[in-house]
């Protein structure tokens, strides 16, 4: 075991865990933030996506020892009142179905817009292709990202 001081959603947490413990377990089981989901555990589905200094990472495969001074943001810390533009667009387009993948989708979309404020449809598809949704909400996800970017789809 080793002690780490990690910054999550603006708050320092002292944790005493194995150095290869995935960040996802630290978030869910040690700190108690359950909004980030476990899907595959192998970096294949995106359900566990969080931000490390505004970049999307897969917390199921990211060892706590690699965080260092990095700033972690989870879905709970994306906005104070659930009013991040991506969250508002998600609500407007009623994106979720079962909801399981949606934390990861939202966090990946927010990271995309941080880097590229007005992505094209092709850029959205490229950035989001690793976030799987077994309910098939892909079209609504795309529409919501375009909305959040201020370039909503119009029907003619
Ligand atoms: S649970 Fe991390 S990518 Fe699937
Ligand atoms: S909404 Fe069900 S897996 Fe995406």
CATH number, residue 108: 1.10.150.120
Starting from the CA of residue 46, give the closest ligand: 1
Among 138, 119, 139, 121, CA closest to 130:
138
Q: Grade residue 56 by pLDDT with cuts at 50, 70 and 90.
A: very high
* 89 & 142 share domain: yes
SS3 content of the chain, % helix, strand, coil (to 5): 40, 15, 45
Q: Grade residue 137 by pLDDT with cuts at 50, 70 and 90.
A: very high
153 in any annotated domain: no
| pLDDT 10s digits, 83-110 | 999 999 999 999 999 999 999 999 999 9
User: Which of these three, 52, 76, 100, is where a domain ends?
Assistant: 76
Residue 155, pLDDT score: 60
* 131 & 70 share domain: no
- Residue 21 sits in a domain of what CATH number? 3.10.20.30
* 102 & 127 share domain: yes
* 70 & 8 share domain: yes
| Centroid of ligand 1 to alpha carbon of 60 (angstroms) | 5
Q: What is the tally of structural domains in the chain? A: 2
Mean predicted confidence (pLDDT) in 8-20: 97
| Centroid of ligand 1 to alpha carbon of 133 (angstroms) | 12
156 in any annotated domain: no
> Full-prediction pTM beyond 0.95?
yes
Residue 156, pLDDT score: 47
* 24 & 48 share domain: yes
Starting from the CA of residue 57, give the closest ligand: 1
What's the CA gap between 128 and 118, in Å, rounded? 14
Q: Grade residue 75 by pLDDT with cuts at 50, 70 and 90.
A: very high
* 99 & 140 share domain: yes
Q: How distant, in Å, are the alpha carbons of 38, 50, 65, 119, 142 from that of 27?
A: 11, 10, 13, 30, 28
What's the CA gap between 5 and 26, in Å, rounded? 12
Which ligand 1 atom sits closest to the C-alpha of 61? 2
Among 115, 122, 113, 116, CA closest to 89:
113
Domain containing 35: what range? 2-76
Which ligand 1 atom sits closest to the C-alpha of 43? 3
């Amino acid at each position: 075991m080793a002690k780490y001081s990690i910054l999550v959603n603006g708050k320092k947490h002292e944790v005493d865990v194995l150095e290869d413990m995935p960040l996802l377990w630290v978030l869910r089981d040690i700190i108690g933030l359950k909004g980030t989901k476990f899907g595959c555990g192998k970096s294949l589905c995106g359900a566990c996506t969080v931000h490390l200094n505004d970049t999307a990472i897969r917390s199921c495969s990211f060892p706590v020892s690699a965080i260092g001074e990095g700033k972690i943001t989870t879905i709970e810390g994306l906005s104070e009142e659930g009013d991040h533009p991506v969250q508002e667009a998600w609500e407007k387009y009623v994106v979720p179905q079962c909801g399981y993948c949606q934390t990861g989708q939202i966090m990946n979309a927010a990271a995309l817009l941080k880097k590229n404020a007005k992505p094209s449809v092709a850029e959205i598809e490229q950035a989001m292709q690793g976030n799987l949704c077994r309910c098939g909400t892909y079209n609504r996800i795309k529409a919501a990202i375009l909305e959040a970017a201020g370039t909503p789809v119009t029907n003619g």
